[in-house]
Amino acid sequence: MDLRRYHSFGPQRTPHSLPESRVPRIVLAEIVSAHGIRGDVVVRAFTDDPADIAAYGPLTDVAAKRSFTVSSLRVTAKGVVVHFKGIDDRSAAEALRGLELYIDRSALPPPEDGAYYHVDLIGLAAVDPGGTTFGTVIAVQNFGAGEMLEIQRDAAPGTEYVPFSDTFVPIVDIAAGRVTVIMPEMVGEPEPRDETS
């Protein structure tokens, strides 16, 4: 299988992104519920290693107006139990339920060769092998059979999915802001009707 390696940090879609004038940001986790009476929360981590939500410095809300510093953390079967500095009772923890936690894209280490962060792929122009732009990458999805680029075509409603592999996406040029895409051939379409019969 030639699927490219990638780094995923949760569901990164264009409609969910911040305005272009803001620093690109990535959602690392979501607070699911309060835990106990001392202000702990259960967090659903989007990092490969759940403990890595504390590896990149303070976390913020989507608007970067509130900052959350992890003071303790333990990984459990129910999720990551986290205590944030300054959140010291259950009421304060309950108020955070459903909050998504972000970091700046610049806080992440450079990806390995051949690996990409989802946030770096979203917004890239999709071009055909001849260099003609036909759409925009709006999401990276995984429905169980590997990573798929979701592409919004410029001249058509809806979106199309392309396997994120060397076969269908032979070139990823982050600096140029584009990916070269070879659209899969459609199979199993109905035969044309014979109007003479």
Burial degree of 88 (CB within 10 A; 0-12, 13-18, 19+): middle
Architecture per CATH, domain 15-107, reads as: Beta Barrel (2.40)
CA atoms of 68 and 101, how far apart (whole Å): 8
Per-10-residue mean pLDDT, the chain, length 197: 44 39 75 97 91 93 94 94 97 97 88 84 95 94 87 89 94 95 71 53
Taking domain 123-180, whether its CATH number is 2.60.40.420 is answered by no
- Whether the model pTM is above 0.85: no
Q: Structural domain boundaries of the chain?
A: 15-107, 123-180
